[in-house]
Structure 1
Amino acid sequence: MLKSIFLAFGAASAVAQTQPAPGGCTTNSFTFPSWFVHNFTTNPAKYQAHYTLVNRATNYTLSVGCQGQDGTYYTCLASGPRYAMTFGGAVEPKATIAIVHVSEFWYCDDRQTPKADAARQSVRQAYDGLKFEASGNATVALVCNGDVCKSSNPVDLVKGSLSEPVAITPAYAEGPPGHKSPGCGALSKTPKWTLGTIIFINETGDGSSAIQSQSIQFQVTNEATGHVVGCLNYFLAGPGEDPRIQINCGGGTDRKSRYNIRTGTVFYPRSWKFEINETWYCDDVDSAKPVSITGTGSTTLPLNCDTGSTTTYCQADGVPVQGQVLSKTALAPYSIEDPIPTADGCTISSVLSPSWAFSNFELDKSTGDDVSSAAISFNLHLNTQNSLFDFPVFVYHDDVKLGDAETWYPGSFGAGEQPLAPKTASFRYHDKTQEIAIKMDWVCIDIDPEHPVQFSGVAPTKLPQLECEETDYGLARCVSAQGYKWNSPVSNVTWKSLEAGSV
C-alpha cells in the first residue's frame, strides 16, 4: 500500500530550494537537529499523506509516504538513496491541520575522533561515524481543495530533540529584535524612524580653561520593529565646517543569532542634517519566509538651542524620519532564529575527545627523610575551542600520603568557586613515578541550559619536570614552570542527563 502512495504522490514532489545549513554535519547535529518538510500533501478520504523530508544536519532527502486505517493516525515509511531505514514517522490528521511526527538516526563522519573510530568498528560502512538520534513534531496548517489538502507553506520546520549521543534540546536564538513584531513586514514597506532625547553640545572654547569640542547623542526607534538603539559621538569641527560625522550606535544584539540589526547614522554639525541607514529583519507573517530589509532616511534636526559664553546646548525629541527601502532580500526558511554553529564548546568537546589542561602544579612538604605527606594543588580547565571555558579551576588537598599511590583524595576548590567544569574532582598521586590521575565529574549547559549533561572520566598524566626549593618556613616546595600547561585526554568517558534546574 505504501509503495502505491509513493507512486501516486511522488511525481508532484519538487523540493523547493533551501540553503544548506552552515557548519559541518557534527556541529549542525548538535546545534539544531531538525528537518524541513517540503510539499506536505494529504488525502483524508484515502487516509494517505506524502511529503519530502530534508535532514538539516546531513542535507539528505527522503521521500515519505504515510497510510492509515482510519482518519486518526497514519504510519509513515521513507524511501531514498541513504538512511531510509533509519526513519520513523507518523501523521495525525485534523480538520485544518496535520501534526507531523519525525524520528530519525544518522551518522556524521566529518570528525576524526576516538568516538567516531569506535563507531566505525561497530557498524557497517554505510553507517559510518558518530551516531545521532533525534525526534520532533510540527503542526502543519492545511489548505484543502476537494479531496486533497496541502500545507499552506511550501516548507515546514520540525525542530528536534536529541536522544543520542546526549539527551538535549538545543536552545534556538531569539533572533534580531522585533523580527516577530506584528506589522513588521507591512510597516517596512515605508520605513520610518523616530529620534528621541537628542542632545547636541557645541563647546567653542575660551583658549585656556575650555577646549573646543562637539558631541551629539540620541536614541533611534525603528517603527517597524520597535527596536531602539542608542547613539553617541564626540568630534571636533572648526568654524564654518560642516563635516560628515558618523555616529556610533549599538544595543540589543544577540550573540547566538545568525542575524543582527545594523544601524549607521550620520550628522552634519553645521547644517544639522541627519541621515540613517539600517538593516533589520521580519518574519512576523510567516517564519518560512523571512526577509532582510535595508532602508535609509534623512531629515534636518529641529534643534532648540541655548547659548552661553562658551557652550551652545541644543535638544529635541520625537523627531520623525521618513525613509525608503534600498533592498529586500529573502532569507532561508526559518533561519531567523537559527543559532550560529560555533566552535566546539563544553558539550561537543566532551562527547568527541575530552581533555583537560593542567597548570600551576605545586607540592609542599616538610624537609627531611621521614616525610610522609604533602599538600598538593593545581589548576584545571576543560580544553575547548570556545574561549568561554578557558578559566582554570584551582584544586587542592592538604594531606596527600606520599607512599600511597592508590587512594583517591577528594579535591577542594578555590574559595568561592562553584564550577561546572569540573563539578567534583578527586585525584591520586604516585610520588616515585611523578604521575597523577584526576577522576572528575563536569557539567555542560552550553547547548541546552534547561537540560544539563554530566560527564565523568579519568585524566591520567605524567607531571613535567618540577622546580624545587626550600622555603623560609622549613618547607620543600616543588612547582611546575610558571605559565606552563600540559594536556591529558580523559579515558572511559560516560555521561548522563541531570534533572532540569539541578545546576
Structure 2
Amino acid sequence: MRTTLFHTLFLFSSIGISQALLLLARNSIIGATADEDDALTTQAVSGNSDCAAASAETSFSLSFISYGNYTSIPGEGEDDLSPPQLVSMSFAVSNAANGVYTICAFPLGHLTVPSDGSGAPATWVDNSAWQACADRKDSDGKHRFTIATGAAFALSDRYISVNQTWFCHDDAGRLVAYTGIANATLNLTCADGGEVGGYHVENCTSLDVSLPVTLL
C-alpha cells in the first residue's frame, strides 16, 4: 500500500503536489469512504475524556512513514503535465493525549528553472522548512476549534519534527490549550522501485515510531 501511494502521485500533479499527497494519503492509508469523511475532520468529544491528564506526558505515534523520489525518464512523459521530479514525504500521526489521528503529506522542496536562459533542465531544491499537515476539528459541545499539526523533515540527516496544538475540555469544564513537539532521526530503508509511468522511483519507508512529546 505504501508503494502504491507514491506510484500514482504523478497522475495528480495538475491539481497541486501537496493536495495530491493529502488525497492519496487519506484514501490509501486510511481507506476512507465518502461516508467516513466527517470522521476525518471532526474528533469526537469522547476521545478527550482523559485529555488534560494525558497531555502532561503524551506521545506522537507515527505510522505509514514513506519518502518518495520520482525522477522522469528522458524522452518519456514530455507532453503531459507531470513534473520532471517530485520528492515527497508522508505519514500518519496520532496524539496519545486526545486520540486525534491526522495525515502529514508534503513535497520536500521545489523545482527551479535556471534564469540565465540557457535552457538547462530544472533542478530540485531541498526544503526542510515546517509544513502544515491536515487540520482536524474538535468540539466541546458549544464551540468548534482547530487542532493544527505541522511537520518538518530534513532528508540529509533523516531528522523529522512534528508539532501540534490541541485543546482539552475535560478539566472542570475548562478549555485548555497545549502545544507540543517531538523529534527523531528516522531509520529509513530504501528500495529501487523501478520505472513507473515514465518515472524512475526510489521509495524509502520506516517502521512505526512513538515519540515522546515536549510541551512548549
TM over 0.5: yes
Checking the alignment, whether the CA contact within 8 Å between 1:261 and 1:279 is kept in structure 2 is yes
The whole-number CA distance in structure 1 between the counterparts of 2:193 and 2:102 is: 30
Q: 1:235 to 1:244 in 2, by over 3 A?
A: closer
Which of 300, 305, 323 in structure 1 is aligned with 2:213? 323
Q: 1:325 to 1:200 in 2, by over 3 A?
A: same
Q: Which residue of 1 aligns with 2:57?
A: 190
For residues 449-471 of structure 1, the C-alpha deviation after alignment (integer angstroms, 9 at most, x for no partner) is xxxxxxxxxxxxxxxxxxxxxxx
Q: 1:179 to 1:297 in 2, by over 3 A?
A: farther
- Higher helix proportion, which one? 2
Which of 128, 137, 142 in structure 2 is aligned with 1:253? 137
Q: Which residue of 2 aligns with 1:40?
A: none
In structure 2, what residue type is equivalent to 1:201? G
The whole-number CA distance in structure 1 between the counterparts of 2:148 and 2:167 is: 10
Which of 201, 209, 233 in structure 1 is aligned with 2:76? 209
1:282 and 2:171 equivalent?
no
Q: 1:231 to 1:302 in 2, by over 3 A?
A: same
CA drift of 1:308 comes to 4.1
Checking the alignment, whether the CA contact within 8 Å between 2:138 and 2:147 is kept in structure 1 is no
1:272 and 2:131 equivalent?
no
For residues 250-275 of structure 1, the C-alpha deviation after alignment (integer angstroms, 9 at most, x for no partner) is 25325983422111111223322111
1:233 and 2:100 equivalent?
no
The whole-number CA distance in structure 2 between the counterparts of 1:194 and 1:178 is: 20
Q: What is the aligned residue count?
A: 151
The whole-number CA distance in structure 1 between the counterparts of 2:55 and 2:207 is: 23
Q: 1:177 to 1:275 in 2, by over 3 A?
A: farther
For residues 309-343 of structure 1, the C-alpha deviation after alignment (integer angstroms, 9 at most, x for no partner) is 532111234211222110xxxxxxxxxxxxxxxxx
Which of 224, 228, 231 in structure 1 is aligned with 2:97? 224
Which ranges in structure 2 are unaligned for 5 or more consecutive residues? Answer: 1-41, 78-83, 112-122, 195-199
CA drift of 1:299 comes to 1.1
The whole-number CA distance in structure 1 between the counterparts of 2:92 and 2:69 is: 19
Q: Which residue of 2 aligns with 1:457?
A: none
Checking the alignment, whether the CA contact within 8 Å between 1:176 and 1:257 is kept in structure 2 is no
For residues 460-493 of structure 1, the C-alpha deviation after alignment (integer angstroms, 9 at most, x for no partner) is xxxxxxxxxxxxxxxxxxxxxxxxxxxxxxxxxx
The whole-number CA distance in structure 1 between the counterparts of 2:87 and 2:75 is: 17
Secondary structure in 2 matching 1:284: strand
The whole-number CA distance in structure 1 between the counterparts of 2:128 and 2:212 is: 20
After the TM superposition, which residues 325-344 of structure 1 pair with which residues of structure 2 at under 5 Å, given as runs? 325-326=215-216
CA drift of 1:305 comes to 1.4
Checking the alignment, whether the CA contact within 8 Å between 1:229 and 1:249 is kept in structure 2 is yes
For residues 324-375 of structure 1, the C-alpha deviation after alignment (integer angstroms, 9 at most, x for no partner) is 110xxxxxxxxxxxxxxxxxxxxxxxxxxxxxxxxxxxxxxxxxxxxxxxxx
**Which of the pair has more CA radius of gyration?**
1
So what's the TM-score if we normalise by structure 1?
0.27
CA drift of 1:224 comes to 0.4
Secondary structure in 1 matching 2:72: coil
Checking the alignment, whether the CA contact within 8 Å between 1:177 and 1:225 is kept in structure 2 is no
Q: 1:242 to 1:299 in 2, by over 3 A?
A: farther
Q: 1:263 to 1:236 in 2, by over 3 A?
A: closer
Secondary structure in 2 matching 1:200: strand
Higher relative contact order (CA 8 A, sep 6+): 2
Which ranges in structure 1 are unaligned for 5 or more consecutive residues? Answer: 1-174, 327-503
1:312 and 2:198 equivalent?
no
Q: Which residue of 2 aligns with 1:297?
A: 182
Q: 1:296 to 1:258 in 2, by over 3 A?
A: same
Secondary structure in 2 matching 1:224: coil
Q: Which residue of 2 aligns with 1:354?
A: none
CA drift of 1:249 comes to 1.7
Q: What's the RMSD between the two structures over aligned residues?
A: 2.9
Checking the alignment, whether the CA contact within 8 Å between 1:178 and 1:225 is kept in structure 2 is no
CA drift of 1:301 comes to 2.1
Checking the alignment, whether the CA contact within 8 Å between 1:201 and 1:216 is kept in structure 2 is yes
The whole-number CA distance in structure 1 between the counterparts of 2:185 and 2:85 is: 24
Secondary structure in 2 matching 1:197: strand
The whole-number CA distance in structure 1 between the counterparts of 2:43 and 2:104 is: 18
For residues 85-125 of structure 1, the C-alpha deviation after alignment (integer angstroms, 9 at most, x for no partner) is xxxxxxxxxxxxxxxxxxxxxxxxxxxxxxxxxxxxxxxxx
